[in-house]
Amino acid sequence: MTNWSGRQVLVTGAGGFIGSHLVEQLVRRGSDVRALVHYNSRSDWGNLEHLPDDIKASVEVAAGDIRDPFGVRRAVAGREVVFHLAALIGIPYSYVAPQTYVETNVTGTLNVLEAVRSEGVERMVHTSTSETYGTATYTPIDEEHPLQGQSPYSASKIGADKMAESYFRSFATPVVTVRPFNTFGPRQSLRAVIPTIVTQALSGTVVRLGSLSPVRDFTYVTDTARAFIAAADSDAALGEPLNAGNGLGITVGDLARMILDLMGSDATLEADEERIRPDASEVFELLADASRLRDLTGWQPEVTLREGLTRTIEWLERNLAATKPHLYTV
């Protein structure tokens, strides 16, 4: 394992869910972390605001926009390693604003790749998503599985992945792609199913969801963050997409019942038509084959689903007042 102490690191999308956990792990390993967050006039750093004060004080926060190539190049300058997590990720919102997804996810990734190439960065880790596989033609899904754009979001991430691949092949840019399956844990927005279930159960007697039949493979966020660091450490991973997942599937319905059981809640589940994806856009099964990541890096998930859910429930109980569980967040 590479010694991360003193390494000059940039994390884009640092104010996001996974990004904030990655920043925290890197700081704890002694890295000099620059965190790129989306500019706003409130100086709001997103989920970095939830970091312990000593961690937050050790981070250099830069506000900007991943769509601005000049600001991206300034953020990349002087960094040895770049973790690129900045993206628009909500699938339902991609039905509403598809051009924004292309500008952020495809053009934004191009901006990072070009800055990494121009500045001579030693390693870039690009973030993909299991949604790029679409509905599985076989499971568990390995990295050879065909890619399928079943939503504007997944199509934009396929485009971003292919830009990363093209820079590796065309310019030998030292980039590796990490493709997380469903990540969960503290600080996740209500766009995701687990915090949606928990906060609705905490604030009422009915949990409204879309389809209960899709199967998902959930990984606790600290394990996903470790996968990013492990990928950055591996020379053998360069140019490769690497799945990060547990390889354990559960339906949304069974997941919801597990959460309600852990909470001791008697809330009922109810289908909500507004939350159901278009038929041809729903991805019915995502189950990871992460053997390539394990073989190349030695990474293994450490937190079980039940333990991760317990930690997530406890965090949401403490922070319920900051959420809006009565709204459907797209």
Under CATH, which number does the domain 8-184+218-247+286-302 receive? 3.40.50.720
CB 289 within 8 A of CB 142: yes
pLDDT at residue 281, as a whole number: 55
Rounded CA-CA distance 31/78 in Å is 14
Cβ neighbors of 329 (< 8 A, separation 6 or more) are: 90, 189, 190, 191, 196
pLDDT tens profile 78-123: 999 999 999 999 888 999 999 999 999 999 999 999 999 999 999 9
- Quote the DSSP letter at residue 104: I
pLDDT at residue 36, as a whole number: 98
Which class for 192: exposed (0-12), middle (13-18), buried (19 or more C-beta within 10 A)? Answer: middle
Rounded CA-CA distance 4/264 in Å is 42
Q: Would you say residue 328 has pLDDT above 70?
A: no
Q: What is the mean pLDDT of residues 261-265?
A: 96
Neighbours of 138 (CB within 10 A): 12
pLDDT tens profile 64-82: 999 999 999 999 999 999 9
Rounded CA-CA distance 87/99 in Å is 13
Q: What is the mean pLDDT of residues 148-170?
A: 97
pLDDT tens profile 286-296: 899 999 999 99
Tokens of 61: 């926060």
CB 290 within 8 A of CB 247: yes
pLDDT at residue 214, as a whole number: 87
Q: Which residue, among 100, 97, 86, 178, has the nearest Cα to 132 in the 3D structure?
A: 178
pTM: 0.93
